[in-house]
Amino acid sequence: MSELAGSGAEPLEAEDPLRIGPIPLAGRLGAGGMGRVYLGVQDGRYVAVKQLLSSVVAEDADFLRRFGHELDNLARLPADATAPLLASDRGAKPPWFATAYIPGITLREAITLHGGPLPGDALWLLLREAASSLAAVHALDMVHRDLKPSNVMLTLDGLTLIDFGVARAAEQSQLTRTGMVVGTPAYMAPEQASGKRRLSGATDVFALGSVLAYAACGRPPFGDESGHGVLYRIVHEEPDLEPLRELEPELAALVEACLAKDPDDRPTAPELLERASRQGPFTQPLWPAAIDERLTERAAFAADVQDIDVPTLPLAGEKAGAEEAGKGEAAARGPEPAPAVGSLPDGPERRERRRRTRVLLAVLPVVVVSGGTTLAIQHLPHSSSPRAEAQHTPTAPVTAPADPASVAGGSPSGTSAAVQPPAQDPGQAQGATGGAPVTAVGGNGPSAGPGPGGGAPPGPGGSGSSANAGGGGNDGGSRPSAGGTSTAPTKAPAQPPSPPDSGTYRYRNGNNGKCITQVFGSSDFGDCANGSARWTVQSRSDGSFKLVNQQSGSCLYSNGLGQAVFVGDCAQDIGRVWRTGSGGALRSDLGGGCLDLGMSSGLVTKTCGGEASQRWTKQS
C-alpha cells in the first residue's frame, strides 16, 4: 500500500485487528514469539502498538504480574533512552501497550543494507549513543537483559534502544529471583548463561561489546548459533575480534574489556560514553550513505501522519465489518419471505433478535454439591438462541468435572475454586469418580458417567449425544438437549492421586536413549553417565512434583507450551511443577505440554501426543 511506503510496516492481514483499544491500526511492524507489533495513530502521531499473544498470556497470573511490573518500569525510563510509553491496558485480553514510533531501522537491517560491517567512525558513534542510553537506564538500577542488533534502532539523529519488555528494576526482578534465563544466546553474558550470579549493568555492557563486534565483523564474537555450543564459548573461550583489531585497534581493546568474563572487570556505561565521546565531533550524515537514505525515508513518513479510516466499533462478540457483510449477503439472497404466524416482523426488532442469536453468550451457574454441602460455584459459558431458550428450561443433572483445571480453562474468568486435586494426566480424569450425588444446572445430553464409553444413558426425550458447554470445549459443562432432560448416575469426588516415588533418578528418553541433563541454565539430553543427569523427585501433596538436579540443586522448569525448558531456582512453583503422564510422559502444569526432545539440542514442551520422544523411563 502506498500509504505505508517508507514506514517499514506491512499491510494488515486477515487475522489482524483494525484497532487495539482506542488506537486505529495502519499496518503490521513485526511479529515474534511473544506478540505482534502494529503501526497505529494516536493524538496526531504514529505509534507502535505491541499486543501480546493470547497463547502466551493464557491465565498465567504470574506472567501478568511481571508484565505489569514491566510497564511500570518502562514508564520510568527517560525518553532519550528508549521509545517512551504512551498508553497501555494490562487488563485487556490480551494485554497491550503503545510506544512512540521510531523512524529508523535496526542495526541488523543496517548491516544488510550497507552490504557489510560499518566503518570505524560509525562504530564509535554506535558505542557513544548506546552507552549514553545504557548509562541513563543503569542509573535507575534497571537492566535491559536482551541487547542485540535487532533491538538497536539507528535513526537520523543517532540511535534508540528498544524492547525493554524484559527490563526490571534490578532489586525487583522476578526473573533474577527465579533464575529464569532471558536473552539471545549469542549476546548473553557469562553470568546470564550460567544463571549463577545476579545480573547488573555489567550484563548489558557485555552484550554491547558483542553488538559492537557484530557491527565491526559481521558476526557475533562467539558465534551466532542458538545452541549450547555458543554458551560454552561465552563462558570458557576468548572472543574472535581480529577484523576489529585490524580496523580500529583502540576500539578493539575497549570491546575486549567489555567482554571480560568477570563482570567486575568490565567498564561501566558512563566510562564507555566518556571514551567514545573523545572521538567526536560526529557530523551529519551520521551513517553510511545507503543507511542514511533509508533513514531519511522513515523520517519523511513519520512527519506526514495520515488519518486511518476504521469502521465504527462493533457490538461485543462481533467482528468489525459484520454489518456490511450482512448487508451484502442479504442483497445476494434477495427479498425474504413473509414472516410466519407468531414470528417477529421483518423489521429492526427481528434483525436485532437475529444478531443477538449470533453473539449471545449466556453464563450458566453450575452449583456442585456433595452430601448437601455446596463446594463450589462455577459460571460456564453457554451459547444459545432465543428460540431454543423458549423451548426448555436447563434443569438436567450432570456430573461435575473431575479436573478443576479444565473448568478454569473454559470459564470466562479462567478461575475456579478447586473441588479436588487434578488428575496426574488428562486421560486419567475419565471415569475417575463414582458414588455420591453431584448435581449441576444446565446439561445437554449425557455427561461423563458409568455408562458405555464413560457416558450416562440419555434421560427421557434425550438425544443421547454429548455436547460440551461453549460449543465443544472441554470445560466440564454441558447443555440441555432440545428434546428434554437427562439424568446421570451420581459420582463421588476422586481421591487425590498418590504422590510419585521420592528418590534420585535418571530419566532416559524412549527415542534416542539419552537422559535429561543440565547445561548452564538450560536443559539438554546427553549421556546418562553425565554428572548432571541425576534428578531428585520432590513430591507434593497433590501428586505433582519438582525435579531437582542433584549436581546444581536447581529445578527443571517449563517456560510455556512450545518453548525451551530451562533449569533454575526452585523457589517458585510456576513452571517448575510436573506430573506423570501416560506412557511415561512428564507433563508441565504451565501450559500442559509434555517434555520432548528439541531439534538438535535442548528440551522443549510440546502438545502431549504419546510419541517416543515424550517417553521418559525412570532409572536409579
Per-residue burial over 557-586, b = 16 or more CB atoms within 10 Å of its CB, e = otherwise: bbbbbbbbbbbbbbebbbbbbbbbbbbbbb
End-to-end CA distance of the chain: 63
The secondary structure of 344-411 as a DSSP string is PPSSHHHHHHHHHHHH-EEEEEEEEEETTEEEEEEEEEEE--HHHHHH-------PPPS-HHHHHHHS
- Judge whether 366 and 380 are in contact, CB under 8 Å: yes
Query: Across the chain, how many H-helices and E-strands are there?
Result: 16, 25
Q: Reduce the DSSP state of residue 28 to 3 states and report it.
A: strand
> One of 43, 141, 146, 307 is an active-site residue; which one?
146
Calpha distance 542→579 (Å, rounded): 10
Dihedral of alpha carbons 417, 419, 423, 428, sign = negative
Q: Reduce the DSSP state of residue 283 to 3 states and report it.
A: coil
Tell me the backbone φ, ψ of residue 498, rounded to 5 degrees. -65, 135
Residue 146 annotated among the catalytic residues of the structure: yes
Calpha distance 131→196 (Å, rounded): 26
What is the number of other CB atoms lying within 10 angstroms of the CB of residue 548? Answer: 20
Calpha distance 151→596 (Å, rounded): 31
- Judge whether 454 and 472 are in contact, CB under 8 Å: no
* Contacts within 8 Å (CB) and 24+ apart, 86-94: 86/42, 86/47, 87/21, 87/22, 87/23, 87/42, 87/47, 89/21, 90/64, 92/21, 93/54, 93/57, 94/35, 94/51, 94/52, 94/53, 94/54, 94/56, 94/57
What is the helix (H) or strand (E) element at residue 202, kind and residue range?
helix 201-217
Beta strand residue intervals within 409-554, DSSP E: 503-509, 515-519, 522-526, 535-539, 545-549
Active site residues: 146
